[in-house]
Amino acid sequence: MEKLKFAFYWAASCGGCEIAVLDINEKILDVVGMADIVFWPVAMDIKYKDVEAMPDKSIDVCFFNGAIRNSENEEIAKLLRKKAKVLVAFGSCAHEGCIPGLANLHNREEIFQKVYMECPSVKNAEHTTPDTSTKVKEGEIHIPEFYDTVKTLDQTVDVDYYLPGCPPPVDLILKAVEAIAQNKLPPKGSVLAPEKSVCDECPRKREKKIISKIYRVYEKVPEPEKCLLEQGIICMGPATRSGCGAQCLKVDMPCTGCGGPCPSEIEQGAAMISALASILGVDEEKKEDYDPQKLLDQIKDPIGTFYRYSLPASILHRKVIKK
């Protein structure tokens, strides 16, 4: 039987998804036994021109990790979409924009100002910023265009499947590869993860969800068996798709939402804000001196808390920059 052809690509991300592929350990032998990896720039010497020369749809499955931050990311996303039969948004950056997507709170001009002019470690008296074309004595250098807005993979090209997580859990990767090998993939557009929330996987006990104070993770040593949200530590578990085995919660760290929204939720951040609003300050509302703003002020970083992984994919998408 002819082996499948796999491709892996790394766009705007930290590289953790590349490591996650190797985290399947000896199972990588099963992968190379069933498929030839024809494109993986981080691990093999191959050029874009080699991919361009491949016949269209000659790659069976492409695992694309990373958001679309610049023109190179967009160009290669479109090239791999053309060459691959199945395109998988691999990891939170490709799925929802993730940490690179928080740059959507600013535009290119503001980012360049901060990085190339104001950063204390930078000396740039001429206020030089990157340009897509620069002439030097050896010739002309071309670099990708840095976009104002970070986009998800499916805001750029058609995506067949989504494998969530930052990075995707090993178990989900293995199940996805097995489904591919057995030709048992679900309908196009599916998220290759369970449909329950992280709370459904969490072993902590949930009782009465009414809180009056919010703690940041370094401000409180949590009780090991009690729901973190009930202890005043914001946990994105109620609004986040499971599949991770609640690994963070098992070591006293709250879920931060990298699995993306639950199937029933259109917008992860809004879902969590709604869930928190239903339990925060319930007792305080009965008092005469009730001040909701004091409760809200306890949330020090709303965007970073509720939209850490999902800003580009959210209804908000980005901050409006007025010029």
CATH 2.40.50.140 fits 4-99+149-181, yes or no: no
Note the pLDDT of residue 176.
94
Domain map (residue ranges) of the chain: 4-99+149-181, 103-147, 194-316
Note the pLDDT of residue 104.
97
Bridge pairing between strands 59-65 and 68-70: unpaired
Phi and psi at residue 68, to the nearest 5°? -100, 100
C-alpha 38/C-alpha 279 separation (Å) is 51
- Measure the CA dihedral 237/240/243/247, to 10°: -30
C-alpha 203/C-alpha 171 separation (Å) is 19
Count of C-beta atoms within a 10 Å radius of residue 130: 13
Report which DSSP code applies to 322.
P
Note the pLDDT of residue 216.
94
Note the pLDDT of residue 192.
97
Dihedral (CA of 55, 61, 65, 67) sign:
positive
Note the pLDDT of residue 315.
94
Specify whether the CB–CB gap between 185 and 32 falls below 8 A.
no
C-alpha 255/C-alpha 241 separation (Å) is 11
Dihedral (CA of 233, 316, 168, 71) sign:
negative
Note the pLDDT of residue 141.
93
> Could you tell me the two tokens for 12?
């705007």
Note the pLDDT of residue 323.
66
H-only helix segments in the chain: 16-22, 28-34, 48-52, 71-83, 92-96, 108-112, 170-181, 198-201, 268-277, 292-296, 302-306
Q: Which long-range contacts (CB under 8 A, 24 or more apart) does 290-295 make?
A: 295/212, 295/214
Provide the whole-model pTM.
Answer: 0.93
Which residues of the chain fall below pLDDT 50? none
C-alpha 262/C-alpha 260 separation (Å) is 7
Amino acid identity, position 150: V
Note the pLDDT of residue 1.
65
